Amino acid sequence: MNFVPSLRGNPRVVLLASMPLAGCLTLSDFDLDRPVPEQALVGSTVRAPLPPAFPLALSLDLSTNLARYPRGVEVKLDTLTLTITDAKRPAGDADDFAFVDTLRVYVTGSTLPRVEIAHARQHGATQTLEFGVADDLDLAPYVREATKVDAVGSGTLPSDDISFDGRIVFRVHPM
């Protein structure tokens, strides 16, 4: 007669089953949330086209957050939003992003090509401009290099000065 001990209620079996196997440890993806600094756009009382070079200060410098991953990471843009602020909005002023027809955001590396990473289209008189992002583009090579972020817009200048800030979120996948 073969005797097979019951696994039910055996604390050693539960402990062993809950331990990860060596070499199978994985690091979880995580988000890096960065503010877009507040900036201003000078308006015009005369109807004029929006300058093609839209003033947008963004940084892809994530080096301090990613230095602890010697095997590397994959970095993808998750979200980008811009929001009207009160700095250039006196009482009674109703600033919004209705002046924007399109806004495209590009990144260029010192040895890497210029690629579009986000775009927005006119959504009417909204206080927040949400961008569609190139979520399939790995930005890690751009993060490792000195990069330049620029924006190209079309539309008309707002009738008065506006200010805005925002939020950019990167999804990081450690290797």
pLDDT tens, 39-98? 998 888 888 888 878 888 888 888 777 778 878 889 999 999 999 998 787 777 788 999
Residue 107: pLDDT band with limits 50, 70, 90: very high
Is-contact 82 96, C-beta < 8 A?
no
Q: Which two tokens stand for residue 173?
A: 């996948």
Residue with token string 């007669």: 1
Summarize pLDDT for 7-36 with one digit per residue, the tens.
555 555 444 444 444 444 456 888 888 999
Is residue 175 packed enough to be buried (19+ CB in 10 Å), middle (13-18) or exposed (0-12)? Answer: exposed
DSSP states of 20-48 as a string?
PPTT---PPPEEEEEEEEEEEE---SS--
pLDDT of residue 45: 86
Count CB-CB contacts under 10 A for residue 44: 14
- pLDDT at position 8, please? 55
Assigned domain for 3 exists: no
pLDDT at 133 over 90: yes
The pLDDT value given to residue 109: 87
The answer to whether position 17 is within a domain reads no
What is the pTM (predicted TM-score) of this model?
0.77
Q: Is residue 123 part of a domain?
A: yes
Structural domains of the chain, count: 1
Residue 19 lies in a domain: no
Altogether, the residues listed in the chain come to a count of 175
In a domain, 167, yes or no: yes
Q: CA 150, CA 94: separation in Å to the nearest integer?
A: 27
Contact status, residue 133 vs residue 153, Cβ threshold 8 Å: no
Q: What is the CATH number of the domain that holds 160?
A: 2.60.120
pLDDT recorded at residue 9 = 56
Q: Assess if residue 158 is contained within a domain.
A: yes
**Most distant pair of Cα atoms in the chain: their distance:** 98
Range of the domain at 46: 26-86+97-174
In angstroms, the CA 5 to CA 90 distance is 78
